[in-house]
Structure 1
Amino acid sequence: MYKKLIVFHDGKPVPAIIRNYTKHDFAGLIALQKESFPPPYPEELLWNETQLTAHVDHFPAGALCVETGGRIVGSMTGLIIRLDDYGHHHSWESITDNGYIRNHDPEGDTLYIADVCVTPEYRKAGIGKWLMQSMYETVVYLGLKRLLGGGRMPGYHRYADEMTAKQYLENVVLGQIKDPVITFLLRCGRMPIGVAANYLDDEESCNYAALMEWNNPFLQQAATE
């Protein structure tokens, strides 16, 4: 994938490129991870060079980055799975092979999002939404059934004594609570299909994640005709 676009940073148009990342981008991607996921996010969950090598070796089409001014400001990584092999009760480690994606299945039916990150400086520039749109395009291009991923719920720890993770998600969907990740995913067209416990070692989310899906509308249309 390679496409040019304009993003608006501090109200000013800035040229940007969305493309597949390569081994030449690893230093920039690791720096991006550190900027995007500061403590208390576990440092051991940030990408390392071995994982990034596996991404471009196993599924380069699922390794995307956004570059502006020669700097990588966003990235998204996915793999293809057969959803029936995992179901809706899985952890991030099990479904992404601890981030090494050696379980990538070219014959699968689901593009699973292993990670998305945008440097804080560019989080109001629409970078994340452009990356998500690009992955939707990949789903359509490859003829897959869906895009799926577990979304962190970093606001949940503030409500954990008052409600379950499922209730928290329901309140976010109703607009009664705003969660920085789940609200973003809803704005991107992702729909919640459940909550996964012990999904990730994530103190802010109390180890929960919302499973968020986007169905290929062209396959849905064909199924109803």
Structure 2
Amino acid sequence: MLTVHHLGISQSDRIVWLCEELGIPYQLRRYDRDPVTRLAPEEYRALHPFGTAPVITDGDFVLGESAAIVEYLIATHGGDALIRRASEPDFADYLFWFNFANSSMMPALMMSMVVGLLGGGDRAKALLARGDRAYAMIEDRLAKVPYLAGDAFSAADIMIHFPLTTGRVFAPRDISGYPNILAYLQRIAARPAYAAAMAKAEPDFAPMLT
């Protein structure tokens, strides 16, 4: 049986959402953050050697890392749904945005969080500018297409959604000046699988869609 080990207010909400989109049977086990440190509890950190969310168990198999889990579930349980194949015109766009989420955007947002804690300066401004560029790129892309890989929803949207929404708990950002992103988030919110996933994963947390 597939078990999604979901740490509250974390990237593991992506995995719950993916399972709902693909209709994959799963067991959800939710863990609350430590009330003092706001980090994962010891029980969660013991699931995987790296100790971070997300983590799944599929029988005796244990896997961490959002992108790895998404690709694994699509390949093994999802019939290759929500991806683009090399023969499709949006393949390169899909690859870029799927990987951009955690390879470039998430580190940029984490830098902005660290800069906020440590203070300003020219180097700090340069680091903050990376986050600005990430948002600007996404805003520009969504001016041309409804979803990041093109006309249809894909796993790239599942990957990018966290830094645009829940990730702002950790790296606050006013997104009122990004109308295309705001419209995109409303399209995502209208998806039944997204609503079902958030109700299960974060029943006491309102999605950050504005």
Q: Name the TM-score, length of structure 1 as normaliser.
A: 0.31
Answer 1 or 2: which has greater helix percent.
2
Answer 1 or 2: which has greater strand percent.
1
Instruction: Identify which of structures 1 and 2 has the higher relative contact order when contacts are C-alpha pairs closer than 8 Å and 6+ apart.
Output: 2
